[in-house]
A and B are shown apart, each in its own frame.
Chain A
Amino acid sequence: MKALPVKKNFFTLGVFILIVLAVNGLAFLAIRFYSGLGAVTNLDNQTPWGLWIGVDVAAGVALAAGGFTSAALAHVLHRDSYHAIVRPALLTAMLGYTFVAFAVCIDIGRFYYIWHPLIMWNGNSALFEVGICVMIYMTVLYIEFLPIVTERFIGKVNLPGALAAFNKPAETVLKVLDKGLAKTMFVFIIAGVVLSTLHQSSLGTLMVIAGQKMHPLWQTPVLPLLFLLSAIAVGFPMIIFESLIASRSFKLKPEMKILSNLGSMTLPLLGIYLAFKLGDMFIRETFFYVSRFDYTAWMFIAETGLLLIAFLMLLSKKTSQTPGSLFTAASLVIAGVLLNRFNNFITAYRPFYDTVTYYPSIGEISVTIGCIALLVLIYRFVVIYFPVISHEK
């Protein structure tokens, strides 16, 4: 089996629905850029960060973790049988981070100054670290993706009309690029893993500075570690999730052997995260807040419950064997981590002078859904035109 472009039509009914959702999001985005953040969002001076930071950025980064966990498994640990999942995971990570960068662009008030952190540094700021790391990592992801582009075009360069004269030089450029990348790729692969561990954890440091404005169920000095561990735990479930969806959508045979192995590997990773999360709560004696059974407590119970159910499901070896139950377990982990990021940035943020309780506006939700729809559309486009998914011809 080799990674090949998927021979399918781009347009289906589902694709049209996604296009409608994307256009709807873009319409709200136009208002945001014309009239400011206040016109579209429910944000105010008491709640400066909302859905776009909590879900689009924080959860987006976490769910793109499949890129570095699979790279570590297949390339650093040289488990060659997993090569089939590296490319789809890489594509998800690349698109995911592009989507994160886009979300940051729309959320920051002075979007035209997005380049400022490159030259204006504040080493004390966790956000600065996240910003720089995400920028570099995104570049690394694009470099890691380049060989897929060269593979697609080497020997097939066919420029139209008068440009045909450049066919040969273009071919040469691609070949040189391909060779150079092959020789140096290991540097980028390791750099990608290092950068990921750095900013996945720093994303957790972000909310530490909010101090007592953040609910004690989530506020802890070990937040960076919890963010890193949960990102590692969600990496493989994310690969399983999208691989199974892609197989169904393109009517391909799912790679169950690889996916069930990933499923069994998720068990200890998820266990480590849960042990640290619950252990930290035990040490800081915060279980008392759960017993209040208010809105915040229920959000916590939901988040932890989703992950615990997934953990219990994966304890049984049968779960990883069948596509249906594996898909359910993977979805539960993804939902749990997604809710965890939402909770950390939105539910837990209860400032002292909160006059109006924040809930995301229709505009914010539309933009988030629109962005996700756009992401899925681009993913579909890329796997149809580039050799990403491994399958029989």
Chain B
Amino acid sequence: MDIIFYLILSSCNSRKFAPTKSLLHPRKSLIYCEHMNNLDRRNFLKTAAIGAASLTLGSASVKAADKTLSDDRIGILVDTTACAGCRHCEWACRTAHGLPAGELEDYSDNSVFKKYRRPDNNALTAVNEFENEKNPLMPVYVKTQCMHCEKPACVSACIVGALTKNEDGSVTWSDDKCIGCRYCMVACQFQIPTYEWHKSIDPHIMKCDLCAERRSKGQLPACVEICPNEALLFGKRSEVIKAAKNKIKRKPDTYINHIYGEHEVGGTSIMYISGEKFEKLKMPQLGTATAPGISEAIQHGIFAYFVPPVTLFALLGTMMWVTKWKKTNGNGDPKEDQPDDKDKKL
């Protein structure tokens, strides 16, 4: 295992980059994965407590979510200049998730690159080929999968909270809660969650879970483990960003000065560096505002502690009473009359 890690890190190839102990030692760096079951509850309580503040609950809950994220949370750097398009990660991913994978040899067939492919319910990751303008003989390969956003839109959108942003940074889906409404697919800016359209009973939302099962056993994500070209660097998010900056600094001619995912939609766990502009690699151009955007602020603005609805109720009640009172010209006691036969006629 340590050998694999050494290989991964050696891709950084930098004397300045001193990997921390936790990076070299997967078990150690992953220990925190095991004691985060209560995150949901804590997150909820924190959000609720902060909610007392005011209408600004939207921005407050962003802070609350950040706090529950571990400082050691996972990051993966995809170095598109190192990827050779062998698609071994696709095979490993399918195998690890019990999806029909076929033989590894079949993945050397390059004809699949003719068509742009997206991850789907049978393949949680997909590699695509792009033209390299600097060197046409060396195409650029880009692996696509869930970005595991720091503040994910899918988690914010899910009607029943079936999607969870875990302390370790991964975003996972819960079979026990999901009602199959597919609002997560509407919300995701990277269009990652997919759905099992041809199942009537128990259709799943399928997306990369950062190999939660493998990591609970102390293993690396399947794609990271199998990558023969050291294109995937796995470690703490903060360390991975440092490594990426270092790579760019050392080879300014190879890389453009942009780590995709460092700031996009408030940051993502999976980040990319490349020699090409990211829009040429069909990566969506997104701002630095968090993915749920203003929808949470609107939502909490309308509801703010149930004050607006209750106020409206009181206002309408008063109107009902006043119009009624005007009708009776102030004769008698309108308060007692209120629920009289006029309402009964409804």
- On whether A224 and B302 interact (CB within 8 A), knowing A78-B320, A209-B293, the answer reads yes
Residue from A128, A209, A351 within 8 A of B292 (CB atoms) = A209
Contacts of B121 in A (CB 8 A): 45
Residue of B nearest to A77 (CB): B323
Q: In the assembly, what is the distance between CA of A202 and CA of B182, in Å?
A: 17
Contacts of B296 in A (CB 8 A): 124
Residue from B299, B302, B320 within 8 A of A75 (CB atoms) = B320
Contacts of A251 in B (CB 8 A): none
B252 CB-CB contact with A under 8 Å: no
Residue from B183, B294, B323 within 8 A of A208 (CB atoms) = B294
The distance from the CB of B179 to the nearest CB of chain A, in whole angstroms, is 4
Contacts of B313 in A (CB 8 A): 190-191, 194
- On whether A190 and B182 interact (CB within 8 A), knowing A36-B199, A78-B342, the answer reads no
Residue of A nearest to B160 (CB): A120
| Residue pair A120, B161 in contact (C-beta under 8 Å) | yes
Residue in B47, B316, B346 whose Cβ sees the most chain A Cβ within 10 Å: B346
Residue in A41, A43, A76, A124 whose Cβ sees the most chain B Cβ within 10 Å: A124
Contacts of A48 in B (CB 8 A): 182, 185-186, 195
Contacts of B170 in A (CB 8 A): none
- On whether A75 and B343 interact (CB within 8 A), knowing A120-B177, A210-B186, the answer reads yes
Q: What does the 1/0 interface line of A105-127 toward B look like (CB < 8 Å)? A: 00111110110110011111111
Contacts of B327 in A (CB 8 A): 78, 80
| Residue pair B284, A352 in contact (C-beta under 8 Å) | yes
Residues of chain B in range 326-346 having any CB-CB distance to chain A below 8 Å: 326-327, 338-346
| Residue pair B343, A189 in contact (C-beta under 8 Å) | yes
B145 CB-CB contact with A under 8 Å: no
Q: In the assembly, what is the distance between CA of A86 and CA of B160, in Å?
A: 35
| Residue pair B346, A127 in contact (C-beta under 8 Å) | no
Residue from B179, B309, B343, B346 within 8 A of A117 (CB atoms) = B179
B312 CB-CB contact with A under 8 Å: yes
Q: Is the interface of A mostly helix, strand, loop or mixed?
A: helix
Across the A-B interface, how many residue pairs have beta carbons closer than 8 Å? 224
B189 CB-CB contact with A under 8 Å: yes
Residue from A32, A76, A148 within 8 A of B319 (CB atoms) = A76
Residue from A72, A78, A208, A353 within 8 A of B191 (CB atoms) = A353
Residue in A36, A122, A148 whose Cβ sees the most chain B Cβ within 10 Å: A122
Q: In the assembly, what is the distance between CA of A198 and CA of B303, in Å?
A: 9
Q: What does the 1/0 interface line of B186-208 toward A look like (CB < 8 Å)? A: 11010100111111101100000
Interface bracket on B: 35 or more
| Residue pair B298, A221 in contact (C-beta under 8 Å) | yes
| Residue pair A78, B324 in contact (C-beta under 8 Å) | yes
- On whether A211 and B160 interact (CB within 8 A), knowing A76-B316, A113-B180, A224-B302, the answer reads no
A289 CB-CB contact with B under 8 Å: no
- On whether A36 and B323 interact (CB within 8 A), knowing A48-B186, A194-B312, the answer reads no
Q: In the assembly, what is the distance between CA of A80 and CA of B343, in Å?
A: 10
Contacts of A116 in B (CB 8 A): 159-160, 177, 179
Residue of A nearest to B194 (CB): A45
- On whether A109 and B203 interact (CB within 8 A), knowing A45-B195, A48-B185, A202-B299, the answer reads yes
| Residue pair B302, A202 in contact (C-beta under 8 Å) | yes
B78 CB-CB contact with A under 8 Å: no
Contacts of A71 in B (CB 8 A): 346
Q: In the assembly, what is the distance between CA of A355 and CA of B115, in Å?
A: 11
| Residue pair B346, A75 in contact (C-beta under 8 Å) | yes
Q: In the assembly, what is the distance between CA of A76 and CA of B312, in Å?
A: 12
| Residue pair A209, B153 in contact (C-beta under 8 Å) | yes
| Residue pair A209, B339 in contact (C-beta under 8 Å) | no
A38 CB-CB contact with B under 8 Å: yes
Residue of A nearest to B312 (CB): A194
Q: What does the 1/0 interface line of A24-60 toward B look like (CB < 8 Å)? A: 0000000011111111010111101100000000000
Q: What does the 1/0 interface line of A140-181 toward B look like (CB < 8 Å)? A: 000010011000000000000000000000000000001001
Q: What does the 1/0 interface line of A186-219 toward B look like (CB < 8 Å)? A: 1001110110011001100111111111000000
The distance from the CB of A281 to the nearest CB of chain B, in whole angstroms, is 18
Residue of B nearest to A110 (CB): B180
Residue of A nearest to B162 (CB): A120
Q: In the assembly, what is the distance between CA of A178 and CA of B178, in Å?
A: 41
A95 CB-CB contact with B under 8 Å: no
| Residue pair A45, B316 in contact (C-beta under 8 Å) | no
Contacts of B298 in A (CB 8 A): 126, 205, 208, 221, 224
Residue of A nearest to B156 (CB): A124
The distance from the CB of A222 to the nearest CB of chain B, in whole angstroms, is 9
Q: In the assembly, what is the distance between CA of A202 and CA of B308, in Å?
A: 14
Residues of chain B in range 155-175 having any CB-CB distance to chain A below 8 Å: 156-162
Contacts of B158 in A (CB 8 A): 122, 125
The distance from the CB of B318 to the nearest CB of chain A, in whole angstroms, is 10
B136 CB-CB contact with A under 8 Å: no
| Residue pair A126, B197 in contact (C-beta under 8 Å) | no
B36 CB-CB contact with A under 8 Å: no
Residues of chain B in range 130-165 having any CB-CB distance to chain A below 8 Å: 153, 156-162
| Residue pair A131, B203 in contact (C-beta under 8 Å) | no
B226 CB-CB contact with A under 8 Å: no
B295 CB-CB contact with A under 8 Å: yes
Residue from B182, B294, B319 within 8 A of A49 (CB atoms) = B182
A65 CB-CB contact with B under 8 Å: no
Given A182-B343, A190-B320, A353-B118: 9 more A-B contacts, CB < 8 Å = A37-B197, A75-B342, A75-B343, A120-B177, A122-B160, A124-B299, A181-B344, A211-B293, A224-B298
What residues make up the interface of A, taking CB atoms closer than 8 Å to B?
A: 32-39, 41, 43-46, 48-49, 71-72, 75-78, 80, 83, 86-87, 90, 107-111, 113-114, 116-117, 120-129, 131, 144, 147-148, 178, 181-186, 189-191, 193-194, 197-198, 201-202, 205-213, 221, 224, 349, 351-353, 355
Closest 8 CB pairs of A and B: A109-B180, A38-B197, A48-B185, A48-B182, A110-B180, A120-B160, A182-B344, A78-B323
Query: What are 7 A-B pairs at a CB distance below 8 A?
Result: A77-B320, A110-B179, A121-B161, A131-B159, A186-B338, A193-B312, A202-B302
